[in-house]
Amino acid sequence: MGKLAVDKQLDTSTVKEKKLGLRWGLAFIFFIIGFIAYMDRSNISIVAVPMMKDLGLDKVQFGLLSSLFYLGYCFSQIPGGMLAERFGARNIVTIAVAWWSLFTTLTAASVNYVVLCIVRFFFGAGEGPMYPGNAVFNSYWFQKHEKGRASSALLAGSFFGPVIAPGISVAIMAWFGWHGVFYIFGVVGVVVALLWYFVGRNKPEEHPWISEREKALIIENRSISSSKKKTAPWKQYLKNYRFWAVGVQYLVVIYMNTFFLTWLPTYLMEARNFSLKEMGLAASFPWLAICFSVLIGGAISDKILQKTNSRMIARGGMAILGFAFFILGLYLAAYSVTPWSNVLWLTVALGALGLPIVASWAIANDMGQEFSGSVSGWMNTWGAIGGITSPIICGWFAQEMGWNITLLINIIPVVFAAILWFFIKPDRPLVKLETK
């Protein structure tokens, strides 16, 4: 028995030193899933000008399409998280990817504006379970101190999508028109759904490819306290002001993220006089910045957590710093004299927004523990509300007051979101759970 114990200890130590394994391969698939999701979500903003012209839409009508996406997205967040907790991330994420890919294709096939509105609503409903499903996956597959990096995989993929979407989508439009963009990406999404179904598993205990060393390491150090199926304690959650603070600050985060996602290409062409080709390049820089900040931010946050053992410093401090640089970037972008200096400060702003995004998903795992699907679903429901309201409100401000005023007004809610982090207190779970 003594030798077996020593061997197990050595095996665990080896995996710790290696820090690689099947779990990181599966995380990379989530990177691809996030990449496809945001390619599909951002494509409509890339084709906005020809699409609005063909269908005779104004800015408010076009903004409503993005809002309807987020309305469907909002409604499926909490159910998606609860279903992922009940049936596992493998099944729920597979269904989600296949579902939204179908409605991506139907976006191009819509015969009129009413049908298009319905399609975008159900497209959003399909994407809804993706992030809560990933949170459940992370809770079972990653150690406590790996949650920042684990969350970064899907998020980085999500923000890498818009980096190359402008160039790819513009090229596809040149060959097949704006309809072809949605047909091609819909087919790619179905392929990715099949990949996840055949390779993914709900838990490391169920995967035939995982090594015994990696499996033992994960089970020993993950935050799941029980293998029994439980229901999230919603009554306790709803009485907890910290639960509400997590959601409201994330509303602001996604409100601003959606502003960039929906209106950045149009802003660059209308306010800064970029051509369609120039816009394809310029619009990629802010998304490249947020992709890197999410990847780096997750790793840095985990390192700070290991050294300080303080989630307020590791998660909250990083989020507040990101908000501060976002405000600075947005302010300087509004007063930029040249088009490319404007792109520079927009890049700083959106890149900085990656820090509160990754911090938010890390604390959804930290504070939710085995109910991370429900907690992240709640948080992302608030985010979806930000996504619903942002295209319409920002579109109205831009139409009535101009783009610069729109940028400056958006600084106000960001200040409020930064303050909310002092109320979240992420070092304690939302409820006390039973130990193993």
pLDDT digits (tens, 9 = 90+) for 243-291: 999 999 999 999 999 899 888 888 898 888 888 778 878 888 998 899 8
CB 155 within 8 A of CB 361: yes
pLDDT digits (tens, 9 = 90+) for 114-172: 899 999 999 999 998 998 888 888 888 888 778 778 888 888 888 787 677 777 888 88
Mean pLDDT of 21-45: 87
> What per-residue confidence (pLDDT) applies to 156?
83
% pLDDT > 90, the chain? 33
Distance CA 49, CA 280 (A): 13
pLDDT at 113 over 90: no
What confidence tier does 92 reach under pLDDT thresholds 50, 70, 90?
Answer: very high
pLDDT digits (tens, 9 = 90+) for 61-75: 887 887 788 788 888
The residue among 42, 20, 23, 19 whose CA lies nearest residue 31 is: 23
What is the maximum span of the chain, computed from C-alpha positions, in angstroms?
76
Structure-token pair, residue 133: 């499903």
> What per-residue confidence (pLDDT) applies to 15?
41
CB 92 within 8 A of CB 83: yes
Residue matched to tokens 């150090």: 221
pTM metric for this prediction: 0.76
> What per-residue confidence (pLDDT) applies to 135?
85
> What per-residue confidence (pLDDT) applies to 90?
93
Classify residue 303 as exposed, middle or buried by CB count within 10 Å of its CB (0-12, 13-18, 19+).
Answer: middle
Distance CA 252, CA 234 (A): 23
Question: Does residue 154 or residue 347 have the better pLDDT?
Answer: 347
> What per-residue confidence (pLDDT) applies to 1?
44
pLDDT at 422 over 90: yes
Q: Domain map of the chain by residue range?
A: 19-219+232-424
Mean pLDDT of 350-354: 95
**Under CATH, which number does the domain 19-219+232-424 receive?**
1.20.1250.20
Q: Is the dihedral of CA 385, 387, 392, 395 positive or negative?
A: positive
Mean pLDDT of the chain: 85
CB 188 within 8 A of CB 36: yes
pLDDT at 434 over 70: no
Question: Does residue 175 or residue 13 have the better pLDDT?
Answer: 175
The residue among 220, 283, 255, 252 whose CA lies nearest residue 67 is: 255
Half-sphere exposure of 42 (CA within 13 A, CB side): 31
